[in-house]
Amino acid sequence: MTTDTLTAGRITGPARGALKFRLDRWFGHAVLIALAFLCLFPVYWMIVTSLRPANEILEGSLWPSNASLDNYRYALGAIPVRAMLINTTVISVAVTAIQLVTGLLAAFAFVRWRFAGDKIIYALMVLTWLVPLQVVMIPNYLLVAKLGLLASIIALILPHFASALAVMLLVQAMRSFPREVMEAARMDGASNWRLLWEIMVPNMRGTIASLAILVFISTWNEYFWPLLLSRTPENSVVQIGIQMFMTAEGTQWGPLMAASTMASLPILILYLVLQRQVVQSFLQSGLK
């Protein structure tokens, strides 16, 4: 009995550590599964509700007894979903590309050269990131109106030509770029243009990919600025189309969820296709 006690005492330490590690890992997985369920269930419920007939909208079943695509047909006929999706895609792609280009050029200027007031200019630019969009919506609206661009897709893109977030993220990435590589390129006679686009940009793919994903999703989900400028559904974005199913007479939940599902599909497909790149880009860029 004494030997068994000593043996138990000898294995208690390592066994207890291994057991604690397994319990911690199981607990971590359980928390992640619960969080994944909380994130995915609203998406599942949106899709299920879009398949319910009008007389089953308020049912609490996990799957409709008479699933149909009537809500999708009604949504496609009630609003120009295809035109809105095309407009939203064009705006999102254009804003993403423009912000990447302007962000790279501005960040390279801040990192590459030292000039009078550069830190003050950079600080002021960073402060603009803290200004809510609602504060500058009216000045931007007046500017767009004076340019004669109201009710146009260009008006939805113009205020987003530059982004303080893009500049800040790219400045930090460029500051961590190996100076030895930059010095070697300059010794080989590389111009600043070539240094930026042929040397620095290819080695910053992770940061650029994460920034592009953030900007694209943010632009895709934008609502207030298109709402202020929209005049006709054909020149509007899909977020405005979703809002059209919410009226003073009531909310058309079935078509609303059908339109929301169609608006979410491009983002879901983008994530499924670029899932590995999305995760790696966020890890490489240090975004939390």
Tens-place pLDDT, residues 47-83: 999 998 888 888 778 888 888 888 999 988 888 888 8
Q: At what angle do helices 2-50 and 253-273 cross, to 10 degrees?
A: 130
pLDDT at 6: 45
Burial degree of 258 (CB within 10 A; 0-12, 13-18, 19+) = buried
Q: Cα–Cα distance between 91 and 96 in angstroms, integer?
A: 8
- Phi, psi dihedrals of residue 246, rounded to the nearest 5°: -110, 105
Q: Specify the DSSP class assigned to residue 66.
A: T
pLDDT at 14: 64
Q: Cα–Cα distance between 27 and 238 in angstroms, integer?
A: 40
Write the pLDDT tens digit of every residue in 105-145.
999 998 888 888 888 988 888 888 888 877 888 888 898 88
Element (H, E) at 72: helix 70-78
pLDDT at 165 over 80: yes
**What is the model's pTM?**
0.79
pLDDT at 223 over 80: yes
CA distances from 100 to 2, 168, 277 (A): 72, 12, 17
Burial degree of 84 (CB within 10 A; 0-12, 13-18, 19+) = buried
Radius of gyration of the chain (CA): 26
Write the pLDDT tens digit of every residue in 184-216.
877 777 788 888 888 888 888 878 888 888 889
pLDDT at 281 over 60: no
